[in-house]
């Protein structure tokens, strides 16, 4: 099997194919679905060692990103959006949708964020509730060094 660093299609291991072929419950038809869902969420909470409520979101990956923004944003929040790719800029839309005030730090879509430049920007621009950054922007193939960026914010 090869490691393919793209959103798809990807090769799937045999044990995963077997697990996916098992009969599963249908939320529209199965009267036991609510209990099945509840038990599954509890198992995930145990796996993650959390006492917080766990929910399963059924949708594309972008749904999880929007859910994170929806959970963190309150009206008037000032949010730094690190924008050097299509997906990076998209965070500004989510922040606005939930009443926040996105402030874009826009850079070239063909290059990774320059950590030294960002650090200098943050020295004069701060008081953000949180910041968004995209690790890998698949449309451009750009990869940001989040291990160096995240400690700055």
User: Per-residue pLDDT for the chain (153 aa), expressed as one digit of tens each?
Assistant: 556 666 767 788 999 999 889 887 777 788 888 898 999 999 999 999 999 999 998 888 889 899 999 999 999 999 999 999 989 999 999 999 999 999 999 999 989 999 999 999 999 999 999 999 999 988 888 899 999 999 996
Across the strands, what pairs with 79?
Answer: 102, 130
Alpha carbon of 15 to those of 1, 3, 4, 35, 95: distances in Å? 13, 17, 18, 26, 39
- Report phi then psi at 11, rounded to 5: -80, 145
Closest by CA to 87, choosing from 137, 50, 47, is: 137
Tell me the whole-structure pTM to 2 decimals: 0.73
């Amino acid at each position: 099997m090869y490691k393919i660093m793209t959103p798809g299609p990807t090769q799937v291991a045999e044990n995963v194919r077997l697990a996916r072929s098992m009969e599963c419950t249908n939320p529209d038809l199965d009267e036991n679905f609510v209990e099945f869902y509840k038990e599954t969420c509890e198992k995930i909470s145990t796996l993650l060692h959390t006492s917080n409520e766990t929910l399963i979101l059924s949708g594309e990956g972008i749904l999880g990103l929007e859910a994170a923004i929806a959970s963190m944003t309150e009206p008037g929040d000032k949010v730094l959006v690190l924008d050097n790719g299509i997906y990076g800029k998209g965070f500004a839309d989510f922040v606005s949708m939930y009443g926040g005030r996105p402030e874009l730090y826009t850079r070239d879509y063909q290059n990774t964020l320059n950590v030294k430049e960002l650090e200098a920007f943050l020295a004069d621009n701060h008081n953000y509730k949180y910041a968004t950054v995209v690790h890998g922007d698949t449309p451009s193939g750009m990869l940001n060094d989040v291990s160096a960026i995240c400690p700055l914010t």
